Amino acid sequence: MSVDKTTVAKIARLARINVPDERLEPLAAELNGILNWIAELDEVNTDNVEPLASVTGHALPMRDDVVTDGNRLDDVLSNVPEGASGFFVVPKVVE
């Protein structure tokens, strides 16, 4: 599998990273280098092997249904680039 300019542009769009047109080609080459190397995994027979997502071996711990957090507007907004009357503010979204 190898990626072309169009695919790189699509990935960049999915990742919300602005990539200038002139960078698409070199990026595609870099990504292909990595992807070709990764393709080494194809040598491994993984038939009937369960994927391993978590190594801890224990089950998900659960907490009680108690309100222990919130009411900390100052903390929540302390680093905000743009805020107004307790809200985060972003460029207008059209649905």
Partner 1 sequence: MSDLLGLNAVAARDALDKKAISAVELATAYLGAAEATAGLNNYVALTADHALAMAAESDKRIASGEAGLLEGLPIGVKDLFCTKGVSSTACSNILKGFVPPYESTVTANLWAAGGVMLGKLNCDEFAMGSGNETSAYGPAINPWQGKDKVDLVPGGSSGGSASAVAARSALLATGTDTGGSIRQPAAFCGVVGLKPTYGRCSRWGIVAFASSLDQAGPFTRTVADNALMMTAMASHDAKDSTSTQTPLQDLIGAVGDGVKGMKIGVPKEYVMDGMDNEVVTLWEQGQAWLRDAGAELIDVSLPHTKYALPAYYIIAPAEASSNLARYDGVRYGMRVDAETLDGMYEATRAAGFGDEVQRRIMIGTYVLSAGYYDAYYLKAQKVRRLIKADFDAAFQTVDALLTPATPSAAFPVGRKIDDPVTNFLNDVFTVPANLAGLPGISVPGGVTSDGLPLGLQVLGRPFDEASLYRVAGVLEQAAGFTMTPARMAGGAA
Partner 2 sequence: MSDLVTGRTGDWEVVIGLEVHAQVSSKAKLFSGASASFGSAPNENVSLVDAAMPGMLPVINRECVYQAIRTGLGLKAQINLTSVFDRKNYFYADLPQGYQISQFKDPIVGEGSLRIVMADGSTRDIGIERLHLEQDAGKSMHDQHPTKSYIDLNRTGVALMEIVSRPDMRSAAEAAAYVRKLRSILRYLGTCDGNMEEGSLRADVNVSVRRPGGPLGTRTETKNLNSLRFIQLAIDHEVARQIEIIEDGGTIDQETRLFDTATGATRTMRSKEDAHDYRYFPDPDLLPMIVTQDEVDALASALPELPDDIRDRLMGEYGLSAYDAAVITEERDTARYYEAASDGRDRKLVANWMTVELFGALNKSGKSLENCPITPEKLGELVGLISDGTISGRIAKDVFADMFETGKGAAAIVDEKGLKQVSDSGAIETLIDQVLAANQDKVDDYRGGKDKLFGFFVGQVMKESGGQANPGMVNQILRSKLDGA
Site string for partner 2, 39-58 (x = CB under 8 A): --------------xx-x-x
Structure-derived torsion over alpha carbons of residues 10, 11, 14, 20, reported in degrees to the nearest 10: -70
CB of 43 to partner 1, least distance (A): 8
Is 87 a binder of partner 2 (CB under 8 A)? yes
Query: Hey, what are 1's tokens?
Result: 């599998």
Among 14, 41, 44, 49, binds partner 2 (CB under 8 A): 14
Binding partner of residue 22 among partner 2, partner 1, none, CB cut-off 5 to 8 Å per kind:
none
Q: Measuring CA to CA, how many Å separate 91 from each of 1, 27, 64, 83, 88?
A: 38, 29, 38, 12, 10
